[in-house]
């Protein structure tokens, strides 16, 4: 996938100094292909979901910050019991329209795997700590940007850590890195509870 800054910098130059609304966030995601209608993105989500099939003790998955729900649907199609947690009403409506079979929940719950793709950079350390007080998954499938860009404020990126800092954060929560699948991003990692 092309660098988001390259794709968006011209059209967003007037917005780069303010955070966009939830509605604008969804519109931009759909515009760049993070959608149920983009066969390449659907294929990426499917290939990503395949990464979890090798872990026989993963039956349930919490897709935390599910966005457009395409990953959730791919996980569902692989036979996982998927719980969808998404804060934005705009995204919930999109998921309900495109994937009415998915279960959207009001608060995070413990599942076998926390699926956490490009969301943690939108959360403070306290919010992350609070999440791990609430849930206790066996596995974590995590991806978070580690580069700062001029569009961070617009996208709501408030907690950008290096990859080593993310590894250390998960270690402090009792998880060890077991795999770097390279999907859906080159910096994706799977962790297991120690």
* Predicted pLDDT at 67: 96
* Predicted pLDDT at 1: 45
Who's near 140: CB < 8 A, 6+ residues apart?
A: 113, 114, 116, 170, 175, 190, 191
First to last CA, the chain: 33
Taking the alpha carbons of 74, 77, 83, 87 in that order, is the dihedral positive or negative? positive
Q: Are 84 and 111 in contact (CB under 8 A)?
A: no
Query: CA 70, 12, 182 angle in degrees (round to 5)?
Result: 40
Instruction: Summarize pLDDT for 61-116 with one digit per residue, the tens.
Output: 999 999 999 999 999 999 999 999 999 999 999 999 999 999 999 999 999 999 99
Q: Is the pLDDT of residue 16 over 80?
A: no
Instruction: Summarize pLDDT for 103-162 with one digit per residue, the tens.
Output: 999 999 999 999 999 888 878 999 999 999 999 999 999 999 877 778 766 776 666 788
Instruction: Summarize pLDDT for 46-68 with one digit per residue, the tens.
Output: 999 999 999 999 999 999 999 99
Which domains are present in the chain? 19-193 (3.40.50.150)
How many CA atoms within 13 Å lie on the side-chain side of 91? 23
* Predicted pLDDT at 17: 63
Nearest CA to 116 out of 142, 92, 81 is that of: 142
Encoding tokens for residue 110?
A: 């413990």
């Amino acid at each position: 996938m092309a660098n988001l800054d390259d794709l968006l910098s011209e059209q967003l130059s007037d917005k780069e100094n303010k955070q966009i609304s939830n509605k604008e966030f969804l519109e931009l995601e759909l515009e760049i292909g993070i959608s149920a209608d983009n066969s390449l993105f659907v294929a990426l989500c499917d290939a990503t979901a395949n990464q979890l099939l090798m872990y026989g003790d993963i039956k349930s998955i919490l897709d935390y910050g599910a966005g457009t729900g395409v990953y959730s649907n791919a996980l569902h199609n692989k036979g996982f019991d998927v719980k969808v947690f998404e804060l934005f009403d705009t995204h919930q409506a999109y998921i309900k329209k495109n994937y009415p079979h998915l279960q959207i929940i009001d608060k995070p719950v413990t599942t076998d795997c926390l699926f956490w793709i490009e969301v943690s950079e939108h959360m403070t350390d306290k919010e992350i700590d609070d999440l791990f007080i609430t849930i206790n998954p066996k596995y974590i499938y995590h991806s978070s940007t580690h580069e700062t860009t001029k569009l961070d404020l617009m996208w709501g990126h408030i907690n950008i850590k290096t990859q080593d800092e993310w590894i250390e954060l998960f270690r402090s929560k009792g998880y060890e890195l077991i795999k770097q699948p390279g999907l859906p991003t080159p910096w994706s990692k799977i962790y297991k509870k120690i």
